[in-house]
Structure 1
Amino acid sequence: MSSFLGKRLRIGIAIPSTNTSTQPEMDEMRPLDVTNHIARIVTEDSSLAHKEGVLKVIEDLRRATPDAVRALRHCNLGAIIVALSPDGSWRGHHAHEALRQELHGISGGVRTIMSADAILAALQTLGNIRRIGLISPYLEPSHESVSRFFTDNGIDVVAAYGLGGRTLSNISDVTFADLRDATVAVNHPEAEAIVQVGTNVPMAEFAHMAEIWIGKPILSNNAVLYWHALRSSGIFDPIPRRGLLCADGC
């Protein structure tokens, strides 16, 4: 490891080429002497208007992700974040685990951080939370698929809301009011936490603010991914403006 930049940790981040939210949100979380190194998962800005289109997008990303991970393997990294929300989770736990193992091998054995694992770790850290409200970037027909990984792992999705993204790049075109409405919609009395999936949804800063008036944890996808990469690498610095999960070095 270099004694100059990235002395504590170098993190690789594989991001879809249509994504404009993950890099700035994760750069804002970077502790002293930790560096971020970006590779793009090249994909078309395809339609998400129908479930078939969403499934095609996932397949396209699935095929392109290994090349992005491979491009990072010579950076002497401590962890690689694969910044995809659905990753393997739409096909259940076994498909997700197979994909994670494949990418781990392609990376040359570098720890591979994926959304599903990071969110489950966060829910466990916050007190073994088992009931959530779920915010997704997609249209309503995709709710069942988005929820599948959670239900397969014993997490009850008590409410779900889609932000209505119609293309991959369009997912980031949300307003403060959109995020507020989504949070209110899934703030079911039985929900112990709110989970937002979709790495192109710029929700990290909003989630931190909304926790104050909701009174329960709100996990934004990008913040949780980066938190898990740091904590699993032995870095426990508090991360300001990223919510309860990141505030006290847990």
Structure 2
Amino acid sequence: MTNVVGPRAVFGVIVPSTNTVVEHDYWRAGLPGVAYRAGSMYIPDPVMADDRDFTALLGQIRASIDTAVRDVLTAEPDRMVMGMSAETFWGGVAGNAAFEQRLRDRTGLPVTTGAGSCRAALRALGCRRIAVFSPYQPVADVEVGRFFTEAGFDVAAITGLRCPTAMAIARVTPERIRDTVTALDAPDVDAIVQVGTNLSFVAQADRLESELGKPVVAINAATLWHALREHGITDRVEGAGRLLREY
């Protein structure tokens, strides 16, 4: 439900308790009349140094998401936005659809997820062959690749940065990201896609698009774009990539 600070929309945003980037990226977009209420999923053990650790981290997310959603609903938002991405890719296209349906059933609200937003963004941009990078371990990158393949995209490559903890994701330097994107880029790749919402990339993606001459999709830009456009808000945003600027 709209209010004085969010007369156009109030979005409920679900983030891990370790995440410092999603809310920063959304507020930085500077959309007048759009407000955000974050709900935090408690992550007591943020280690994700290998596949076993990452799977355990996902278990913590699954155990705490209902409480985070409960808390956000007290602000009476107009839409639920998932400011976390790995769980939204799990199980491929069917897994994402089931996850979104569970949230719609739980909240009675429209839902934006990272996986669904990236799919919609790539379709809007007219991209088919993509290269992807993440902060994840291999077990999660397999699920990311599965989702995009089942969604009809040709995945040329996936690079995982193998961050050792959930907090370390926000400490990845722009230099390391640039090196990763440079290694992934190729003449036959239509777009570079980044997943992992605690990875600070929106502004850098905007700059890299100009350099590479092709879309570079940051997941936080994709989820914000999807939430806005699905809600009928068509404002164009500068400095956050072609998607929010032109579509």
Note whether the superposition's TM-score is higher than 0.5. Answer: yes
Offset from partner CA, 1:192-218 (integer Å, 9 cap, x none): 001000000000010001111111000
**d(CA) in 1 for partners of 2:95 and 2:3?**
39
Amino acid at match of 1:181: D
Match of 1:115 in 2: 114
Amino acid at match of 1:40: S
Offset from partner CA, 1:40-91 (integer Å, 9 cap, x none): 1111243222112111111221221121112112323221111111124222
Offset from partner CA, 1:71-118 (integer Å, 9 cap, x none): 1123232211111111242222222211211111222x1111100110
Match of 1:67 in 2: 67
What does 1:14-53 correspond to in 2, within 5 Å?
14-53=14-53
Q: Which runs of 5+ in 1 are unaligned?
A: none
**Which structure has the highest helix share of the two?**
2
Amino acid at match of 2:97: E
**d(CA) in 1 for partners of 2:77 and 2:2?**
11
Change (3 A) 1:30 1:12: farther
Report how far residue 39 of structure 1 moved: 1.0
Amino acid at match of 1:74: T
* Aligned residue pairs, count: 247
**d(CA) in 2 for partners of 1:76 and 1:46?**
30
Match of 2:76 in 1: 76
Change (3 A) 1:60 1:212: same
Deviates more, 1:147-156 or 1:205-214: 147-156
The one of 217, 220, 223 equivalent to 2:221 is 223
User: Secondary structure in 2 aligned to 1:201?
Assistant: coil
Change (3 A) 1:144 1:7: same
Asked if 2 retains the 8 angstrom alpha-carbon contact of 1:18 and 1:45, the reply is no
Report how far residue 2 of structure 1 moved: 4.8
Amino acid at match of 1:87: E
TM-score with structure 2 setting the length: 0.95
Offset from partner CA, 1:139-196 (integer Å, 9 cap, x none): 4564323211111212111022222211111111111111101111111222100100
**d(CA) in 2 for partners of 1:2 and 1:100?**
23
Offset from partner CA, 1:211-233 (integer Å, 9 cap, x none): 11111000101111111111100
RMSD: 1.5
Match of 1:6 in 2: 6
Amino acid at match of 1:232: E
**d(CA) in 1 for partners of 2:143 and 2:112?**
21
**d(CA) in 2 for partners of 1:48 and 1:29?**
30
TM-score with structure 1 setting the length: 0.94
The one of 156, 159, 162 equivalent to 1:158 is 156
Identity of aligned residues (%): 32
Change (3 A) 1:53 1:2: closer
**d(CA) in 2 for partners of 1:30 and 1:139?**
33
Match of 2:209 in 1: 211
Match of 2:191 in 1: 193
Amino acid at match of 2:176: D
Asked if 1 retains the 8 angstrom alpha-carbon contact of 2:2 and 2:78, the reply is no
User: Secondary structure in 1 aligned to 2:10?
Assistant: strand
Change (3 A) 1:8 1:141: closer
